[in-house]
Amino acid sequence: IRVDLSGELPVLNVEACPYPEIAEYDRSVCSMEKMLFSEILGESVRLAECRLDGACNCTFEVTSDSAKTPTETQLPIL
């Protein structure tokens, strides 16, 4: 997995599918991978590009609705 932090939100590029044989027959594996990344990151994630749709690799993006704005940042209570 290669993480691209150059944009406003992080992008995860999965260069080698861990389940290529299963994914060809059951795309729910892609949803499972998306849920796994979302759980690990604690943010909403979407599958932006998929190898099964002809992309070079699967790309998962943190969705902008889960990104915190400066006004939403919690400050410690003193």
Q: What is the pLDDT of residues 7-57, one digit of tens each?
A: 888 898 888 888 888 888 888 888 999 999 999 989 999 999 998 888 888
Count of domains observed in the chain? 1
pLDDT of residue 36: 93
| Of 25, 4, 15, nearest in space to 51 by CA | 15
Q: Residue 78 domain-assigned?
A: no
Residue type, 73: T
pLDDT of residue 65: 67
More confident residue, 30 or 70: 30
Range of the domain at 35: 2-67
pLDDT tens digit string along 52-68?
888 888 999 998 765 44
Tokens linked to 60: 């998962």
pTM: 0.71
Q: How far apart are CA 58 and CA 23, in angstroms?
A: 12
Count other Cβ atoms within 10 Å, centred on residue 6: 6
Burial class (CB in 10 A: 0-12, 13-18, 19+), 10: middle
Q: Residue 6 domain-assigned?
A: yes
Q: Residue 75 domain-assigned?
A: no
